[in-house]
Amino acid sequence: MKTKPSALKALDIASLILLAVATYLALVFAPTERVMGDVQRVFYFHVATAWVGLLGFVAAGVTGIIYLRTQDLKWDLVEQAAVEISLVFFFITIILGSIWARPIWNTWWTWDPRLTSASIVELIYLAYLMLRQGIEDPDRRARFGAVYTLVGAISVPITFLSIRLFRTIHPVVIGNESSAAEGGFAMTGDMKIAFFFALFAFTIIFIDLFWNRIRLGHLQQKVEQLKLKVMD
């Protein structure tokens, strides 16, 4: 456990390279948007971090189901890892969105359906980590976590679909947007390359971080077990 598997080392390196390429494509390769200027480049990482953030929350819900069926504590560990990484990515999404909104909407924040639902998702999962800490019994904690993430996962499609179902000023880049949307744009070929590459790169980065975080969870579990053994 102490030594990192070579596949994970390779994934670490691949993630770094992919992040560097995604940054180059977003900042240099993609053309400057005609109206919004350079701030539009934030969009590539904004969408990519949102994608992996929501993916992790769904993965946590799925592992919650698996735990409830198997009662195996390793799934609780996987679930916690997914939530933690997604919280970090989704936090970045919200901050990047706010930075983009300042020059485009002339405000850092507005209680639009998408922004509101995204904030609720972030708070739901932040509460998950905090509430878990208050439960000492590992089985009860895992059962609570599984049910919580399962219910919490409902907020994910609501957030994703909010800009397609409600009247919102948040732009929809792929698909039909609300007539009230502000800041939308049509992607050129080079923009699409930067966009889809960022989605791919962040998916790999997510897998890499997920694996690393699961290893950390295993080590934590081992230390806790040994601590109980030594105390007895």
Partner 1 sequence: MLFQNTIDTSSYMIAGYSIFFGVTIIYLFSLYTRWRNLLRDLETLEELEDK
* Binding site residues, partner 1, CB under 8 A: 2, 23, 27, 32-42, 45-46, 49, 88, 91-92, 95-96, 99-100, 102-103, 209, 212-213, 215-216, 219-220, 222-223, 226-227, 229-230
Instruction: Specify the residue for token string 């053994």.
Output: 229
CB of 65 to partner 1, least distance (A): 27
d(CA 195, CA 130): 34
Cβ proximity to partner 1: between 153 and 198 the closer is: 198
d(CA 217, CA 43): 32
Cβ proximity to partner 1: between 74 and 215 the closer is: 215
Cβ proximity to partner 1: between 174 and 228 the closer is: 228
Tokens of 202: 């962040």
d(CA 230, CA 232): 6
Cβ proximity to partner 1: between 84 and 150 the closer is: 84
CB of 149 to partner 1, least distance (A): 20
Write out 61-113 in H/E/C secondary structure.
HHHHHHHHHHCCHHHHHHHHHHHHHHHHHHHHHHHHHHHHHHHHHCCCCCCCH
CB of 44 to partner 1, least distance (A): 10
CB of 2 to partner 1, least distance (A): 7
CB of 176 to partner 1, least distance (A): 23
Cβ proximity to partner 1: between 89 and 148 the closer is: 89
Q: Which residues contact 15 (CB under 8 A, 6 or more apart)?
A: 201, 204, 205, 208, 209
Backbone angles phi, psi at 205, to 5 degrees: -60, -40
